[in-house]
Structure 1
Amino acid sequence: MSGVRIFLDEGEGTFWVNQVSLAKPQDGEEITGLPEAWPVGWKVYPNPVVGHTVWLEANERPTSLTLYDARGRAIPLNFQWNSSQAHATVPGLPEGLYSLQVVTEQGRAFSKKLLIQ
């Protein structure tokens, strides 16, 4: 693309972009820095969470499980792993929608919405 100009004025100055490039990612390539799509075959249950335990079935060992609330605050979860399952204790949290982020030993990160009731 050429000849495209983007203008942004947020009241604190002006920002101009004179050259914009669009790229199509290759299979499996991340360009956003956001977590990858949830892997096929992975499960999180129960969802909605009722009680204090959540289970993850996965074919990669997680190194961390973290919940994020609506304000983006991180709530690390303690978990135990055995071959293909992790179970984590969810502390007494207010009801609501959370994002569960799983980081694996391979350094891959995945997120899934989790409703706590």
Structure 2
Amino acid sequence: LPPHSQTLVDITCQVNNDHNIIFEPYARHISKFIFIPHTLLNINNNQAKVLLINAQNRQQTLSKNTRIGTISRDATYTIYATTQVPATHHINSNEHYRSLSRNFKPQTTK
């Protein structure tokens, strides 16, 4: 990595093909002033690219097969209500707030 530069590097992973995989860098490279941002990866044929930033004023080298982070899938699920709430039970928030404020009496301390 050239000094004060950012470089896209090829990575290899165990996932064959997938999109929007979460990449989280290991913190151990920070001490060398090599910064790797968290990112979403698109993986094709076990390959992707990750940005490495060298904040040093000298060139740095990462050996081949250096572990730089982990990947994971973020599961997104849709949540559905399983009971129906009758319309008569809905509380108008403005009316409820006004009712509370009319009944609220601040306490004074002596």
Common topology (TM > 0.5) = no
**Which structure exhibits the higher relative contact order, with contacts defined as CA atoms closer than 8 Å and separated by 6 or more residues?**
2
TM-score band, normalised by the shorter chain? 0.3 to 0.5
Normalized per residue, the structure richer in helix is 2
Structure number with the higher strand fraction is 1
User: TM-score scaled to structure 1, two decimals?
Assistant: 0.32
Task: Find the structure with the greater CA-based Rg.
Answer: 2
TM-score where L is the length of structure 2: 0.33
